[in-house]
Amino acid sequence: MSQHDPNNAGRRQFLQAAGALSTLGAGSPLALNLAGIGAAAAQAAPADYRALVCVFLFGGNDQTNTVIPFDTAEYNGYRSARPSIARQPADLVSLGAVAAQGGRSFALPNELASLAALYAQGKAAVVANVGPLVVPTSKTEYRDATVPLPPKLFSHNDQQSVWQSSAAEGSTVGWGGRFGDLLAASNANTTFTAISVSGSAVFLSGQQILQYQVGTGGPVTIGALSGNVFGSPTAAATLRALLTAGRPHLFENELARVTTRSIDAAAALGGALSGAPALATPFDAANSLAQQLRTVAQIISVRQAIGAKRQVFFVSLGGFDNHDSLLDTQPGLHAAVAAAIDSFYRATVELGVAANVTTFTASDFGRTLTSNGDGSDHGWGAHHFVVGGAVRSGVYGRFPTVALNTDEDVGSGRLLPTTAVVQYAATLARWFGVPGSSLVDALPQLANFSDRNLGFLG
């Protein structure tokens, strides 16, 4: 239930020093820049509402069975490279030919048909071969280790962190949180700038902004603070007083402040949600990702009541570490992802904010083109989806040749990324309202890349 208190800069400085909110340190140029330009960036940002929604696929989604080359020769090469786990043509829905990819054709599995439909409607895009890079890297440079590489490649925990923060496990500041730092001043209550419906995520942690965690039932509350406690109508008030009273001890006092902030935020958000009309768009009650996205849609529906103009959300689904049983497991996961994102997009249409909300996928890493029998192993680059009313349909970046021993194959068909995560993030940031002059403050490694707008958002 972490939240941000905008009224006490001294407390923030204490937390940065004592809690090490950034691996860069509170006194670093990045921290000072973010703190100094946040208000100015907010003033320069458009007045309309914008939200980014990160859908993280924990475990490492197999990208080769997610976006599949569909020209006859390339499809045959795909099936030849992984004969035991390739999807059959009858199981695929075509996206058609893509001029920007040399006229190549692509397809998605039938389980992702709703995303293919959004693609056809001009509301979804594919970003090809995205992965963490420190600098543009060739296969020779990777092999000879002549350029800096992301830390601890192919490790789940570390690559989850690198995707979300550009640093290995232990990092405490993510790029979604940095976006929040820059634009939180747009919000009347900055507590609701960065919201997770999936537990703690470094993606949402900023230098100034702290993530606020909710459940699929809404804000998390302290149950004993409402109603009678042990049969006493005054016990709840007494308990609240004990939990929130100031203390002479520095850490005890900080705990009391955090608790007070949490109670107040839960009351504000809970009150707003209780007065909101129910969503007409159906969400599958048995689909955990759909329920998380339903909560995001509900929070967006009360954006005016909670004073929000810029919000970043985090939701997730696990189960993608398919070293075996890929053809048995991934289709069900894909169906859950597609159904959840489709319902969420429809809800944004219902709320009149489809053009103001952009949903995008992320994952630990992609996986090997080669099969270990009936699954695939840890890889690097992967393909991702972006969905929303502002999206320009297409396949962006450079889609790799699906074959072994290519210039993008660093071993067993592990893709050397041709689009860096920071380039993907920068494109989202520009649409979100982060000024171009502030992109490197939010994404320091972006300084190493010239292309900072991939073009998939209008």
Pick from 251, 213, 218: which is nearest to 17 by CA? 251
Tokens of 345: 């997009």
H or E segment at 387? Answer: strand 382-388
User: Tell me, what's the pLDDT at 37?
Assistant: 45
Question: Does residue 1 lie in a domain region?
Answer: no
Mean pLDDT for all residues in the chain? 89
Query: Based on the structure, what is the number of domains in the chain?
Result: 1
User: Tell me, what's the pLDDT at 46?
Assistant: 41
Residues 6+ apart with CB under 8 A from 322: 59, 62, 329, 330, 367, 375, 376
For 6, 26, 136, 320, 364, the CA distances from 12, given in Å and listed in that order, are 9, 10, 36, 37, 31
341-370: average pLDDT? 98
Helix ranges (DSSP H) in 302-420: 326-351
pLDDT tier for residue 240 given thresholds of 50, 70 and 90: confident
Question: Does residue 458 lie in a domain region?
Answer: no
The residue ranges of DSSP E strands in 99-236, in sequence order, are 104-109, 124-131, 194-196, 212-215, 218-219
Q: What residues does 93 pair with on adjacent strands?
A: 108
Q: Judge whether residue 5 has pLDDT over 70.
A: no
Each residue's pLDDT tens digit, 272-292? 999 999 999 999 999 999 999
424-443: average pLDDT? 97
Q: Judge whether residue 415 has pLDDT over 50.
A: yes
Phi, psi angle pair for 90, to nearest 5°: -65, -15
Question: Does residue 454 lie in a domain region?
Answer: no
Q: What angle do CA 131, 134, 139 make, to 5 degrees?
A: 70
Query: How many whole angstroms separate alpha carbon 137 and alpha carbon 416?
Result: 8
Question: Does residue 283 lie in a domain region?
Answer: yes
> Is 195 within 8 Å of 204 (Cβ atoms)?
yes
User: Tell me, what's the pLDDT at 330?
Assistant: 98
For 77, 173, 180, the CA distances from 50, given in Å and listed in that order, are 42, 21, 12
**Beta-carbon neighbour count of residue 76 at 10 Å?**
12
pLDDT tier for residue 21 given thresholds of 50, 70 and 90: very low
DSSP 233: T
Question: Does residue 166 lie in a domain region?
Answer: yes
13-18: average pLDDT? 37
Q: Judge whether residue 250 has pLDDT over 70.
A: yes
Each residue's pLDDT tens digit, 334-350? 999 999 999 999 999 99
220-240: average pLDDT? 75
Least confident of 254-263, 308-317, 322-331, 374-383: 254-263
For 33, 76, 202, 326, the CA distances from 425, given in Å and listed in that order, are 19, 33, 15, 29
Buried b / exposed e across 175-211, counting CB within 10 Å, b at 16+?
bbbbbbbbbbbbbebbbbbbbbbbeebbbbbbbbbbb
DSSP 226: S
User: Tell me, what's the pLDDT at 255?
Assistant: 82
Question: Does residue 172 lie in a domain region?
Answer: yes
Question: Does residue 455 lie in a domain region?
Answer: no
Higher-pLDDT residue of 46, 445: 445
Percentage of the chain surpassing pLDDT 70?
Answer: 89
Question: Does residue 457 lie in a domain region?
Answer: no
40-63: average pLDDT? 79
Q: Judge whether residue 367 has pLDDT over 80.
A: yes
Q: Which residue type is seen at 420? A: A
Q: Judge whether residue 64 has pLDDT over 90.
A: yes
Q: Judge whether residue 234 has pLDDT over 70.
A: yes
User: Tell me, what's the pLDDT at 12?
Assistant: 40
Q: Give residue 27's domain range.
A: 9-448
Q: Judge whether residue 20 has pLDDT over 70.
A: no
